[in-house]
Every structure is written in structure tokens, then in C-alpha cells.
Amino acid sequence: MKTKVVASAAEALAERVKDGMTIAVGGFGLSGIPTNLIQALRDSGASDLTIVSNNMGVDGKGLGLVLENKQVSRVLASYVGENKLFAEQFLDGSLEVEFVPQGTLAERLRAGGAGIPAFYTPTGVGTPVAEGKEVQVFDGVTAILERGITADISLVRAYQADRAGNLTYRLTARNFNPLVAAAGRFTLAEAESVVDDYLAPDSVMTPGIYVQAVVVVDDSVKHIEQRTTRGERNAADVD
């Protein structure tokens, strides 16, 4: 089997990333984000980037790192989230932001990965989301035209991979990762482990045809945005 496993994230990105590129990044909040690949993107120094992601991480973590390094000029995202710097750069005009409804963002990535240039959706009709977009009526339902999204480079996080680039994800860390992987012209995945043989066919969530390179990472710590715990309840509190 010809291997797609590369020695490091920095090595893989150094040969590919250029100023002005569109980079799609998997994850939701800090769940399922390609932490090591984001750090390599920051270290590359590439600038004037357009980032496509559900959100921009938090201050000092995830995509917050490339914001701090002033490498991003435009963002397509669903919400600001916990990132104070994202909000500041958006409000002071240094960062162009296109807010995309979360379901629409998922479908735009899915369309890009499937080679579909555009599609109609009723989501956003009558809101600022619809401004400047073509409008049609289907069976009495008004819909706006949304463009598919393709990225120069996609960065994703997988739970397990094989040397052919097939990927599987763990629980909710799957989130946007399969859609982002398919939408990239060059997709680089970080995986917690790589099996020696092929993954079982029925476990594959992203086929290797969508993945050009895999890097193995060892993350002992997975960050979360806010830790909340359930307090102990007294017997009297239980019905």
C-alpha cells in the first residue's frame, strides 16, 4: 500500500500553503479541531488567508492562534463563539466576516465537495443573509442561491486513519470534519493513530480519495471551551 502518512504537519503544510489561500478547518468550538495542523499553519507565517470554519476557536487556542498572528483577512463562519479577539477584529473592520447559517455552511461545504456549484435554500430569506443573492420561488416557497465552497487546503482531525488516507472520527468530534475533508483541493488530516492495514470498510467515514496526506499526532490533552460539571445532589433533592 502506498502510504499517505507524512513525517510532520509543518513539513506537509510548508510545501503547500501560500499567502491569499482559502483554508477550510474542521471542528466545532474546540471539539474535533486539528490542533497540530492549526499550529503548523500559524508557524507557516502565511498571510491574507480566508478561513472557512464553524467558528474561530477561543483566545489563544484553535484558530484563535492565527487571528492573534494577524494571518487572516476574511472569515466564513456561523458564530463568533468564545473568541474575544475575533469579535474585536470584526468590529474594528480589520477582519471581513461573512456569517453563514450553520446548516447552510454545512451544505455549502457538502456541495463544494460534491462538485455542485450552487443550490437554493429558504434559510436566510428576508434577512441580511439574502442581500445580493439570486432569489427564486419553488412551489410557493422563496429561496436564495448559495454557492458551494471549495478550499485550497482543508485541515481536519480524525480519530483513526490508515495509510491510504481513509478516516474515521470519534463521536461528536466528527462534526464538520467529513464535510471539510471533501471540500478541499488538498486535504491534510491529523489522526490519533494509523493502523497498519486498511480500516474496516464499514467504519470509514471519509474515503481516502478525499485525503492527500495524514500526520500522526499524540494529544494527551483535549481542550474544551467551558468546563461544566454536575454538582452532587442530596437525597432530598431526588424525587
With residue 108 as reference, give the H or E element that holds it: helix 102-114
At residue 129, φ and ψ (nearest 5 deg) are: -60, -30
- Do 81 and 56 touch, CB atoms closer than 8 A? yes
Listing DSSP states for 3-67 in one string gives --B-S-HHHHHHTT--TT-EEEE--BTTBT--HHHHHHHHHHT--SEEEESS---BTTBTTHHHH
- Name the band, by pLDDT with cuts 50, 70 and 90, for residue 233: low
pLDDT in tens, 127-169: 999 999 999 999 999 999 999 999 999 999 999 999 999 999 9
C-alpha cell, 107 = 451544505
Beta bridge partners of 158: 191
Task: Identify the CATH homologous superfamily for domain 9-116+148-216.
Answer: Glutaconate Coenzyme A-transferase (3.40.1080.10)
Domain range annotation of the chain: 9-116+148-216
Determine the number of helices (DSSP H) and then strands (DSSP E) in the chain: 6, 11
pLDDT in tens, 46-95: 999 999 999 888 888 889 999 999 999 999 999 876 788 888 888 898 89
pLDDT in tens, 22-59: 999 999 988 899 999 999 999 999 999 999 999 888 88
